[in-house]
Amino acid sequence: MKNKRYYVIVSARKVTGGVELAHQMCRELLEKGCQAWMYYIQSEQKEPVDALPDIRYKKYGTSHVNSLEGIDSEDSVLIVPEGAAAWALPWNKCKRVLWWMSVDNYVRNAKLSGVDYFDDLRKRVSLHLVQSEYAFQYLLGRGIPRENILKVSDYIGENYGKFQLPCEFRKDIALYNPQKGLEELRPLIERIDWLKWIPLINLTEEQMMAIMGIAKVYIDFGGHPGKDRIPREAASSGCCVITNKKGSAHFYEDIPIPDCYKIDDVPKEYDRIENLLKDICIHWEKHYMEFEEYRRFISGERQRFAEDVKTFVNVMEGVKRIY
């Protein structure tokens, strides 16, 4: 049994990639022999919320705290997502770790509130975890020393990509997330009527896997605040992926796909995008092979996550330094 107690802060009753990642962390800490709990928060209330996780997170087998007892202790490690960065401040004794799942969420929240906690965080946070190269470079750019940053990635559900449908079962379908980048994608949807466009919204995991298994392409022209899950889920399921170059999509380390599938200036390249979509639909097997490296990268994330968390625990337990 490790010496530290780990508390993973996350918003109560939300269903997002970041919330799932938080549960993955708690599960992995437990598997490493750590004492670990979820710490559900709501609004500005510091007292943890006694809430059950969404049904899709029950598979991680985590438990949660329902009081503040023992949290602010020298033996405690508080893991705080950047979206709740202020929660890393009002403590005196515990080790505080800030987990940068999404750079853009922090920047947006700071802009909307008019408050940037970064200088205070720099003084009080023991370690910064980053989920992407994008976040790593952001922190370096804001003066966080390399030795205070540790990469801890994530992984998608193991069922994605288990069954790869061959070309003859694929349809001329383009999938997209209507909550991301729709303003730049809409002109394409309106002009390309030979392609069936399906928004990924209000779907169960089983429905997501089913539709990704028959589609030929997934398009994401939104912001990429971190290594997003849906592009990886789509690629694992056999879809060709087209992105812009915003956020983490700019970095090959985060989305390792050939540059021809990353659009630098979407509104100026609608003709090229349409031609690319036509070629993908006609020659899907050829394009599918171009994503082999991305699929290998995704399939190795579960093991890398376990190794990353092991390094994190060793650092927090004082077993090793980062660099």
- Mean of pLDDT values over 58-62: 92
> Does the pLDDT of residue 323 top 70, yes or no?
no
Range with the lowest mean pLDDT among 135-139, 163-167, 178-182, 242-246?
A: 163-167
Q: Return the C-alpha torsion angle 11, 210, 241, 256, nearest 10.
A: 70
> Does the pLDDT of residue 232 top 50, yes or no?
yes
* Helical (H) or strand (E) element with 160: none
User: What is the per-residue pLDDT for 256?
Assistant: 96
Instruction: Tell me the residue ranges of DSSP E strands in the chain.
Output: 5-11, 35-41, 76-81, 95-100, 127-130, 149-151, 173-176, 196-199, 217-220, 240-244, 262-263
Most confident listed range (10-14, 85-89, 91-95, 238-242): 238-242
The one-letter amino acid code at 273 reads I
> Does the pLDDT of residue 66 top 80, yes or no?
yes
User: What is the per-residue pLDDT for 321?
Assistant: 55
The pLDDT mean for the chain works out to 91
User: What is the per-residue pLDDT for 322?
Assistant: 53
Most confident listed range (44-53, 79-88, 111-120): 79-88
User: What is the per-residue pLDDT for 37?
Assistant: 96
- What DSSP designation does 47 have? S
> Does the pLDDT of residue 90 top 90, yes or no?
no
Task: Tell me which of 164 and 183 has the higher pLDDT.
Answer: 183
Give the relative orientation of helices 292-299 and 229-236 as an angle to the nearest 10 degrees: 110
Neighbours of 305 (CB within 10 A): 18
**Which pLDDT band, with edges at 50, 70 and 90, does 130 fall under?**
very high
Strand 262-263 vs strand 76-81: parallel, antiparallel, or unpaired? unpaired
C-alpha angle 160/165/169, rounded to 5°?
A: 135
> Does the pLDDT of residue 103 top 50, yes or no?
yes
* Residue where the block lists tokens 């002109």: 187
Q: Among 61, 63, 102, 52, which residue's Cα sits nearest to residue 81?
A: 102
